[in-house]
Amino acid sequence: RKVFILSQDRFYKVLTAEQKAKALKGQYNFDHPDAFDNDLMRATLKSIVEGKTVEVPTYDFVTHSRLAETTMVYPADVVLLEGILVFYSQDIRDMFHLRLFVDTDSDVRLSRRVLRDMKRGRDLEQILNQYTTFVKPAFEEFCLPTKKYADVIIPRGVDNMVAINLIVQHIQDILNGDICKWQRGAMNGH
């Protein structure tokens, strides 16, 4: 039995020269729905669901470009797609069997972003400017409203070990076939 974690970040669009120049200055909005190649993400997910082996793109966050190298994804029993806007597109959202929204405090989100982007060689002023100009407004306009599509909302993010353990147990039940048995029993009135 296999579980595969797929990040929405792998599906950023290929940027034009002008967009890449903006990105290098922290002036491109990577948190907008249009920043993602939803057609490629949809096709990739469809192939994975159909049990096909697929090549998944690799995105370089330092150069802001899609690399030639890809990652082979083999059929998996459970696929976890994570990302800030995975619920935004209805046709992609409708492919999920279970939707989880990880609700994290805004200060925690900001501090994680600062640490991550500084590791990528960006300076603090640029990170904070991008956060106030693009990230926070995009979260409020595009990401937060998709919370209503979640089957489960996990408050306190990764600090909520009770919720995380319940999700892990649910995935283990799926992998062990217990969920299918339960669903068949429920459909038969048992």
List the catalytic residues: 9
At 29, list the tokens: 């909005």
What letter does residue 11 receive in the DSSP assignment?
G
Q: What is the DSSP track for 125-167?
A: HHHHHHIIIIIHHHIIIIIGGGGGG-SEEEETGGG-HHHHHHH
First to last CA, the chain: 27
CA dihedral 113, 118, 123, 124 (to 10 degrees): 40
Q: Please, how many CA atoms are within 13 Å of residue 166, restricted to the half-sphere of its CB?
A: 9
List of long-range contacts for 51-54, beta carbons under 8 Å, 24+ apart: 51/75
Element housing 185 (H / E): helix 178-187
